[in-house]
Amino acid sequence: MRVALIGISHKTVPVSLRERFAFSSEELPRALARLRRAVGNGVVLSTCNRTELYYVTKSGQAKYDQAAGLLAAMSRVPSDELAGRCYFLLHEDAIRHLHRVAAGLESMAVGETEILGQVRTAFVAACEAGCANPLLTRLFHAAIRAGRRARAETFIGRYAASVSSTAVTLAKAILGDLSDRTVLVVGAGEAGKLTAHSLSKAGACRMLVANRTYGRAAQQAALLGGRAVPFAWLPQALEESDIVISCSGAPSFVIREEMVAAAMARRDGRPLVLIDIAVPRDIDPAVKDFLGVHLYDIDDLQAVSTANLRKRRKELSKVEAIVDEEVSRFLAWWHSLKVIPTITALRGQVEGMRQRELAKTFARLPHLAEKDRESIEALTGAIVKKVLHEPLVHLRDRGENEGYLEVVRDLFGLDEGRADLAAAS
């Protein structure tokens, strides 16, 4: 069995296409059910910067066209729109990629901490949907361990910038000091909370928080000394604000063209900075044509993230080493699966011989006391263990070599081991 991965990310497609492949928490169960019907297992990792399907397939059955078609069908997007724009990785490449993702090496903001929680959430959702088989379970545990180690054993997290904090960095670069600016955060989910805290640390003192559930907006605003805004009052809030950072998680635009047009008409020429870090996007891209409106989406944060990468570059090699170690550890376990049927068959064959010979011996020596029988049983068991020790060590060390296993099976006539190995592969 092999791990396969089909996906898109900020490295391969713009947000205008990524948003069409994003799965919200409400949509994820449907996507997992579709994946389970198609291949019997799988994990869906969907974040603002990537949508990836991980699944286990039999050797030789994983094909790019089939995988891309599955991703397109799950997202209800014509498959021709994906042509040449997604990556398809098999086994070791897919395994390494997931470890790199969990360690923050594949993020737009390299080293950011949010992705590790997103990987864990994706795996838990797959478990709840009955889609995580033993191989995927072992893989995701290994990748999550790599991500935890990267942040515990290196300083990659100290210099890391999340998407939310990068958006705040962009706002400061455009407008300078935020202490005399009014900032509106749209969304009180996890991204909204991180954004609001980053703004507070950056010195923003006049903060508005809007959310579809007013109670959550009020709770977040109270924590930061800001003011909650009912969702229906967004047009008025746009008129009042200098900066809007939107991350609502809504399935369609929450800040529409006509709302911005009305707000700009009453702003006396004051510029309005809109930063949309939601996927799907929250702000209608048509508003960028208005005079005085400066709109940035999540892809525009790439330049800011690249500049911050210089501070983290020294830590990257350390994180890469951790990824290498954890990938090797996982692959060693996976290779051992190929050896287990042969080892089991060899042990079973020799033990069977021992038991048959003991039975013959005890039948010829019925006068033996029970204590003597136990001594002979222990002696023969110890001899078998010692005789098998070196062969089994070599099997474990060289088990990934199919030719070597074949020779061992032929030498000992392990037909059962051959059948089991074929089934495992």
Exposure on the CB side of residue 410, measured as CA atoms within 13 A: 6
Distance CA(127)–CA(29), nearest Å, equals 11
- Greater confidence (60 vs 372) lies with 372
Domain boundary among 130, 160, 190: 160
Q: Is residue 322 part of a domain?
A: no
Same domain, 196 and 296: yes
The CATH number linked to 179 is 3.40.50.720
Same domain, 87 and 117: yes
Q: Are 80 and 131 spatial neighbours (Cβ–Cβ below 8 Å)?
A: no
205 as an active site residue: the answer is no
Domain boundary among 110, 136, 160: 160
Could you give the angle at which helices 64-75 and 28-39 cross, rounded to 10 degrees? 150
Q: Is residue 214 part of a domain?
A: yes
The CATH number linked to 149 is 3.30.460.30
Q: Is residue 174 part of a domain?
A: yes
Residue 398 belongs to what H/E stretch?
helix 370-398
Same domain, 50 and 129: yes
Provide the residue range defining the domain that includes 360. 335-424
Same domain, 402 and 359: yes
Same domain, 257 and 357: no
Distance CA(254)–CA(231), nearest Å, equals 9
Cis preceding-peptide flag for 391 (omega within 30 of 0) = no
Residues 218-246 pLDDT 10s = 888 888 788 888 888 888 889 888 888 88
Residues 325-345 pLDDT 10s = 999 999 988 877 777 777 788
- Global confidence as pTM: 0.73
Same domain, 189 and 155: no
Task: Say how many domains are in the chain.
Answer: 3
Q: Is residue 326 part of a domain?
A: no
Residues 361-420 pLDDT 10s = 989 988 889 998 899 989 998 998 998 888 777 777 665 666 777 777 777 777 644 444
Point out which residues pair with 8 in neighbouring strands: 51
Same domain, 177 and 265: yes
Least confident of 76-85, 115-124, 353-362: 76-85
CA 54 vs CA 45, 101, 147, 360: distances in Å: 8, 13, 17, 54
Distance CA(93)–CA(62), nearest Å, equals 13
Distance CA(171)–CA(275), nearest Å, equals 8
Distance CA(283)–CA(278), nearest Å, equals 9
377-402 burial, b at 16+ Cβ within 10 Å, e below that, comes to eeebeeeeeeebeeebeebeeebeee
Domain boundary among 160, 176, 193: 160
Catalytic residue among 48, 86, 131, 247: 48
